[in-house]
Amino acid sequence: MPTLRNFVLFQLTAWLLGFGIVVAYLAQRINNLPYVVAFTLVAFLSYAATIYGYVYGLYPRLYRRLSRPAFAGLVLAFLVGVGALRLWLEAYVVRPLFPSAHRGFLNGDRGHLGYVVVTICFAFGFGLLALAAMRSAQLQQQKEELEHRQLRAEMDLLKAQVQPHFLFNTLNNIYYEAYREAPRTAALVEQLAALMRYFVDLSRQERVPLSAEVDFLRNYLALERIRFRHELRVELRVDAAGELPVPPMLLIPLVENLFKHGFDKRAERNEAALHLWTQDGCLHFEAVNPLPPAPLAPAGGGFGLPNLRERLRLLYGARYALSAHPAHGQFTARLTIPL
């Protein structure tokens, strides 16, 4: 992608080249070079105002905020205003400076008015093409950025995979050995194997069934429970179809945040409620827990939620909602994504 400096230099060169061509053409018809330069300068200023006023002003600020008819009327009024300002500058600024200049061209008659209208419309059309080219370049840059991030994530995942088949086979052997002597330990090994298999096999896919994501959360909660000496109650309620396709690993950052900031291992009891449901074409996830007496970790010290926001932005743009805040003695985290 071109740098901003190169982009500005390219535009400046194009304007100067166009200005020189028009001056050279008119100078052959009008034997008054200062007069030609002045009128051409006013004309090119009107072209620049038309193009940049639309590309950097009207379109990004008002296109999505106004209805289509209102925006079209505003653009028309803008073009009329630019044309009127150009005619005023020609009549009351430039022409008085050259009273004896050639009067058969650019003299304010109906033909000249048509010339102004046509050239400003042409400049507006060029602005539309420039805007389309800029948006295409931005989309291409976003696509390349997403592909680069995805490739980097896959490379990081590959680096983290140390002989996964060996690891799974070893876990299976430990499971069978433990099953005879300690069934509870065997169950934990089985849940750990399920977690790691999800990391290796499913987390790199674009979409996974919601049921797989829920099973991953249940296994994670079961393994976290063994780290607590006292009672830990986490209720996970699911009111959504298991076959719904969702991006993997979207819910776990909120649950990890719960264990990092919401639970105190020294407390005699910790509890939380997790709820997953669908409504209005969206998937909603909510995690609620009572606030501990004192903060367990520095606020904003982790990377889970910032990374989650960045991933949601790449996946959905602005079509998601994520909030995490304390209120009324509870900490509530909510996530909403379109289905």
User: Would you mind telling me the total number of residues written for the chain in this entry?
Assistant: 339
CATH class of 233-338: alpha beta
Query: How many CA atoms does the CB half-sphere of 109 hold within 13 Å?
Result: 5
Tell me what the mean pLDDT of segment 324-328 comes to. Answer: 78
Classify each residue of 78-104 as buried b or exposed e, where b means 16 or more C-beta atoms within 10 Å of its C-beta: bbeebbeebbebbeeebbeeeeebeee
Cα angle at 219 between 218 and 222, to 5 degrees? 85
pLDDT category of residue 164 using cuts at 50, 70 and 90: low
β-strand 330-338 against 282-290: which pairing, if any?
A: antiparallel
Give the residue with greater pLDDT, 163 vs 88.
88
- In whole angstroms, what is the distance from residue 142 CA to residue 310 CA? 13
- Total-model pTM: 0.48
pLDDT category of residue 284 using cuts at 50, 70 and 90: very high
47-96 pLDDT, tens digit per residue, is: 999 988 988 888 888 888 888 889 889 989 999 999 899 888 888 888 88
pLDDT category of residue 154 using cuts at 50, 70 and 90: low
Tell me what the mean pLDDT of segment 224-238 comes to. Answer: 80
- Residue 36: the pLDDT is 86
pLDDT category of residue 300 using cuts at 50, 70 and 90: very low
- In whole angstroms, what is the distance from residue 259 CA to residue 295 CA? 12
First to last CA, the chain: 33
- In whole angstroms, what is the distance from residue 58 CA to residue 138 CA? 18
- In whole angstroms, what is the distance from residue 150 CA to residue 157 CA? 10
For the chain, the structural domain boundaries read 4-157, 233-338
- Residue 157: the pLDDT is 57
Give the residue with greater pLDDT, 44 vs 63.
44
CA distances from 13 to 10, 17, 213 (A): 5, 6, 55
